[in-house]
Structure 1
């Protein structure tokens, strides 16, 4: 491979590419702007729903409910008692958010110091109804504790007599690792999405776009080897994908740091990313970018038009989602060793280990080795079809 020729072609292609605003929008502007905006919108929406749910809690009670229980519910901040004819339908319509069905003889059971049943009706598909059910349940539990204390006092006992064992749970994970759990779910997904989509516009334009514009014939007729041409184009697509991934990583860190979960943002990443972890993360990003670049250039070579190339590349974005969602609920210690040898899955698994500060050298080595093999295969097939394209045009 002629390094000087690769550099010349790279400069030419890069100059043409940076003039295309669409490339920069898809590779950098979208991850830098859209990702933080999505986090802010989600946070604002959730806080708004909780604020509205806290301010107004319409509820209803069934006939015969003990007056003392009703008084306990009425003192809940924002609670308003309504009297709909059909409790279930009122919940479905949103007129009320929770209904309390107590035994008809609840008042008599309280006087006799007996147990009575209470059923809460709510709509789990409605977040406000879920919040109302939670507040009503807490109030009823508080009332039950009051009744228990009164009965214990009559017998000369205390609540401690009922609890001979006090149980306490203690976390063995550091605060950084606990915060890293959330990052380990989000960051692999964002990184692979950025890597899959960041270089897509460049890959489409560099081969399928040139074929559609009729400039590919001129480029292939130049005294430049096909390998040099492909290497230059591969570097450009890799660069765009890597830039998009790093932009996404930076934007998501600032988005987390600017919200309520500031501990899960830049501070956590800084605490978990040792120099070795940074190097490993960069290797994973570069290898994943190279694999996506090879696949995208191969597809772009096979496609006859810009539109066809974009259509054929759409499954790559879906392919980036699959491993992220499958491994999202798993802790790194529960991920089988063979996963670190699977394409894309290995990248997600290693990034999860990095985010949680649980890097296993054996897993990292297996993931890097397998990724190198997959990258080599992707570049080989891209070069194969690119050479066939050159022969066909010649």
Structure 2
């Protein structure tokens, strides 16, 4: 009987085109957009072409410093700042009058870079221009020191070398935040409509009374509906995970370079799928309670929206925590442990203690919320509208 009810509820969920759109296609589309957004964000302007506005009498020696940069076009104009304001260029570079003369005479000259910090392209161009001018400045200092019979090393008594503890790509931390957020949102968005329809929807359509009159135990009905919500959430999460993995591998460059799983790739994928299913079960219990509390689908969705928004906070908390700084509490707190464990997996770390703690924590929380839902479902006050 449990299997028949479960299959019937599952078939009803995927029969409705609107529900199918919300539970499967919408999360995939949303996460695809997020994937390409992050790919664009970490590209650092690689392959972009820029236009830099300069004075009509722009110093030729400074202009020569830009000759080796093929993606920057110098646009000469009487008023570079005006050209920038009109949006024809991404930044403007203004030199002092008699710039070369001041440099030759050892006088202090001023260089003004005008940009728009709200524009990604303008910020990228400003960074490139500063680097070019820094190199040009070192060249001038070196020439002055040599002219005075001094070695350039006098101005650079020591060099600073930076070394990372991890040999992973720096963009891996961004990916470690992106994948759990994608997964948590996808499971929540996918399971939400099914949860609202199976309990609050039944009450709103006045079919719950007829359902309870059938010779089926309430516990069996509750378990079958919970299994349906968990299945829909799991399917949505796994599909989204697979689609995003293929997109990162085939359609991106920077995000693809950030992943280096080596020989552990298959094991990490299996663990990620397992954790996704367990998290979907936890989410199903939570959404089941919110749906039982709601008298209508709209009211149920109002209760479930804050639940899905909880996925934002772990991303903010863990953004500044290194993978080697994660401790027991990060894996013991539901929702946060999804982000913590997947962060380790993205960095190629498989810690079985952390995996067990994460799964156990989600299962315990799932059982607690399921018991609460069962208590509510056994009372007519919460199942009759």
TM-score by length of 1: 0.83
1: CA distance between counterparts of 2:52 and 2:110? 22
Question: Shift in Å at residue 45 of structure 1?
Answer: 9.3
Match of 2:282 in 1: 291
| Aligned counterpart for 1:191 among listed residues 183, 197, 209 | 183
Question: After superposition, what is the alpha-carbon deviation per residue over 1:172-211, rounded to whole angstroms, capped at 9, x for unaligned?
Answer: 5344x65643331111101111121111121122122222
Across the aligned residues of Structure 1 and Structure 2, the Cα RMSD in angstroms comes to: 3.4
Q: Mapping of 1:125-274 within 5 angstroms?
A: 125-160=118-153, 162-175=155-168, 180-257=172-249, 258-261=251-254, 263-264=256-257, 268=260, 271-273=263-265
Say if 1:154 and 1:70 are closer, same or farther in 2 by CA, change over 3 A.
closer
1: CA distance between counterparts of 2:31 and 2:192? 18
| Aligned counterpart for 2:15 among listed residues 15, 19, 22 | 19
Question: Shift in Å at residue 151 of structure 1?
Answer: 2.5
Q: Does 1:8 align with 2:27?
A: no
Equivalent residues of 2:261, 2:348 under 8 A apart: no
Question: What secondary structure is seen at the aligned counterpart in 1 of 2:310?
Answer: helix
2: CA distance between counterparts of 1:236 and 1:270? 36
Match of 1:386 in 2: 377
Match of 1:121 in 2: 114
Q: Mapping of 1:253-332 within 5 angstroms?
A: 253-257=245-249, 258-261=251-254, 263-264=256-257, 268=260, 271-273=263-265, 275=267, 277-278=268-269, 280-332=271-323
2: CA distance between counterparts of 1:185 and 1:377? 28
Say if 1:81 and 1:351 are closer, same or farther in 2 by CA, change over 3 A.
same
Say if 1:42 and 1:322 are closer, same or farther in 2 by CA, change over 3 A.
closer
Q: Does 1:79 align with 2:86?
A: no
Runs (5+) with no aligned partner, structure 1: none
Question: What secondary structure is seen at the aligned counterpart in 2 of 1:78?
Answer: strand
Question: What secondary structure is seen at the aligned counterpart in 2 of 1:357?
Answer: coil
Match of 1:28 in 2: 24
Question: After superposition, what is the alpha-carbon deviation per residue over 1:273-319, rounded to whole angstroms, capped at 9, x for unaligned?
Answer: 463x4554344323321221112122222222222222322222211
Question: What secondary structure is seen at the aligned counterpart in 1 of 2:54?
Answer: strand
Equivalent residues of 2:187, 2:234 under 8 A apart: yes
Number of aligned pairs? 381
TM-score by length of 2: 0.84
